[in-house]
Amino acid sequence: MPSYKRIIIYVFLVSMIVGCSQINQQPIQNNLIKKSFKYKTFAHEDKYIMFALEFVRQGKSEEARELFKRLYDKTLKEEYLLEYAKFSFTSKKYDDVITVVEENRKKLEIEKNNILKIYILSLMQKKDYEKAEAEIIKLIEIETDDRNYELLGNVYIQKGKYQEAKKLYNDIHERKLSETSLISLTNVMYLYLNEKKEAINLLESYVRINGCNNTICSKLLSFYQEQKDIDGIISVLEKTYYSFEKSGESSNLDRVYKLLMYYLQKKDINEAITFLEESKADDEKLLTLYRNKGDYEKAYALANKLYETTSNIDFLAQIAIIEFEKAKDKKAVLNDVIKKFEDVLTVLDNHVYQNYLGYILIDFDIDIKRGLFYVNKALDKAPQNLAYIDSLAWGQYKLNDCKNAYINMKKVIDSAGLDDKEIRTHWEKIKECSK
């Protein structure tokens, strides 16, 4: 069986183990004699119990396991056998579980069903599916618990009886309409019966009626991702985001938000913008997307709002950039833009803003030497940045330092090529200057 298809089995087995071994966190505290069974007497029982509990507390599971076995042998109290079986199973000593149960099953009474479940799980781990199936059927005759049917379904899957597993899980789901039964049903449909669309439809129907439960939506998301259904992925992530937001699960909310934004931007920047506008999830990200799209009016309004509400000087720089980029007449806004950048750079030592101001001062012949001062400050922090080297070469050209301008501009075109119109213009003029 392919390894990824074993995931359903592994997850189920782990959940069964956890369900059966919750007492491992707080082992047997109450060892009152049950009147329905004649136990052996054992003078040192309390001492053994104390040692066993201390071993558990210290994480010495093997020592605890052996003591519970000795306690059972001395007293025949089934709670000790149950503990021994649990520790043996979690230690992957499946043969020990099988042996001890088969040797003592006729004596079992009070904890019989719980011990038999661990016995069945051990048979499954040993791939003795025929015996496991027979044992589960016997168990179901005694205890008609849906967890036993789930266990039988897993045996059916291991034996390749996928239709039988589907029918079993479907019956459970119709009785309980639980998340666990739905996951089991859709897993067998999707992974083993190639009923992928039908499985997805079942999960979608559940979400429409019951909302985006984390377990169900995680399963639906995994199916969408395998199908590379980006619309489905976005849909379930949006539902999950709003579900987490409503419930206040901040750590999960952040994780889902990042994944959602990745897929939204991958698909369509407009959808990403719409989500951010409606959800108010991240105005700083929205500002970036407005700028990337070239929607300068919205970007300018949002940057001003953020600056007013936060007083974060970084947003003043953003306002300056947007004001310059959106202006049809750049010269008309130069003084205001330069003033904003100078105010920002008295507080921030930011190479992006240093280069931006420097280039404006150079390109518009306002103060080329001061422009180069800012560009060199930017280059001190990011010496390999091609945009900054381009600004440097352009300033050198403006000062007729054609030799150095050519050397630096050559670095830019060797790395970036001549696709950019502004780089191409600079290169042609600097080449002409250096002749």
Residues 100, 81 contacting (CB under 8 angstroms): yes
DSSP code, position 23: G
Measured at the CA of 223, the angle between CA 219 and CA 227, to 5 degrees, comes to 165
| 19 vs 146: CA distance, rounded Å | 14
Contact partners, residue 2, CB within 8 Å, separation at least 6: none
Please give the pLDDT value at position 309: 96
DSSP code, position 24: G
pLDDT digits (tens, 9 = 90+) for 41-72: 677 888 989 999 999 999 999 999 999 999 99
Q: Which two tokens stand for residue 255?
A: 């994780």
Stretch 12-25: mean pLDDT: 40
Q: Is pLDDT of 341 > 90?
A: yes
For the chain, give the mean pLDDT.
Answer: 89
Please give the pLDDT value at position 12: 42
| 100 vs 140: CA distance, rounded Å | 22
Residue 315: helix, strand or coil by DSSP? helix
Please give the pLDDT value at position 16: 42
Stretch 344-351: mean pLDDT: 96
Q: Which CATH number fits domain 195-279: 1.20.120, 1.20.1300, 1.20.1510, 1.25.40?
A: 1.25.40
What does pTM read for this prediction?
0.73
Q: Is pLDDT of 380 > 80?
A: yes
Q: Is pLDDT of 191 > 60?
A: yes
* Helices marked H in 248-350: 250-267, 269-279, 283-293, 296-310, 313-326, 330-345
DSSP code, position 312: -
Greater confidence (23 vs 94) lies with 94
Q: Is pLDDT of 382 > 80?
A: yes
Please give the pLDDT value at position 39: 56
Stretch 339-347: mean pLDDT: 96
Q: How many CA within 13 A on the CB side of residue 262?
A: 8
pLDDT digits (tens, 9 = 90+) for 195-249: 999 999 999 999 999 888 889 999 999 999 999 999 999 999 999 999 899 888 8
Say if residue 280 is exposed, middle or buried (CB neighbours under 10 Å; 0-12, 13-18, 19+): exposed
Greater confidence (306 vs 5) lies with 306
Q: Is pLDDT of 6 > 50?
A: no
Greater confidence (43 vs 90) lies with 90
pLDDT digits (tens, 9 = 90+) for 236-246: 999 999 989 98
Phi, psi of 159 (to 5 degrees): -90, 0
Burial 405-428 (b: 16+ CB within 10 A, else e): bbebbbebbeeeeeebeebeebbe
Reported as a pLDDT band with limits 50, 70 and 90, residue 34 is very low
pLDDT digits (tens, 9 = 90+) for 256-273: 999 999 999 999 999 999
Task: Please state the domain extents for the chain.
Answer: 195-279, 282-347, 349-435
| 358 vs 356: CA distance, rounded Å | 5
Please give the pLDDT value at position 242: 92
Please give the pLDDT value at position 13: 43
| 146 vs 150: CA distance, rounded Å | 6
Q: How many Cβ atoms from other residues are within 10 Å of residue 208's Cβ? A: 10
Q: Is pLDDT of 5 > 90?
A: no
Contact partners, residue 106, CB within 8 Å, separation at least 6: none
- Tell the CATH topology of 349-435: 1.25.40
Contact partners, residue 221, CB within 8 Å, separation at least 6: 233, 236, 237, 240
Q: Is pLDDT of 35 > 80?
A: no
What percentage of the chain has pLDDT greater than the value 70?
91
Tell me if 195-279 shares its fold with 349-435: yes
Alpha-carbon 127 to chain mean position: 33
Q: How many Cβ atoms from other residues are within 10 Å of residue 383's Cβ? A: 9
| 403 vs 435: CA distance, rounded Å | 9
Stretch 157-165: mean pLDDT: 94
- Residue 341's identity, in one-letter code, is F
Stretch 363-385: mean pLDDT: 96
Q: Is pLDDT of 417 > 70?
A: yes
Phi, psi of 255 (to 5 degrees): -65, -45
Residues 146, 181 contacting (CB under 8 angstroms): yes
Stretch 332-346: mean pLDDT: 96
pLDDT digits (tens, 9 = 90+) for 288-331: 999 999 999 999 999 999 999 999 999 999 999 999 999 999 99
Stretch 106-110: mean pLDDT: 90
| 81 vs 131: CA distance, rounded Å | 21
Q: Which residue has the tokens 């000593």?
A: 93
Q: Is pLDDT of 25 > 80?
A: no
Alpha-carbon 136 to chain mean position: 36
Please give the pLDDT value at position 40: 64
The DSSP result for 262-288, as a single string, is HHHHHH-HHHHHHHHHHH---HHHHHH
Helix then strand then coil, in percent of the chain rounded to 5, is 80, 0, 20
Q: How many Cβ atoms from other residues are within 10 Å of residue 244's Cβ? A: 21
Reported as a pLDDT band with limits 50, 70 and 90, residue 8 is very low
Stretch 276-280: mean pLDDT: 95
Please give the pLDDT value at position 157: 94
Say if residue 44 is exposed, middle or buried (CB neighbours under 10 Å; 0-12, 13-18, 19+): exposed
Residues 261, 230 contacting (CB under 8 angstroms): no
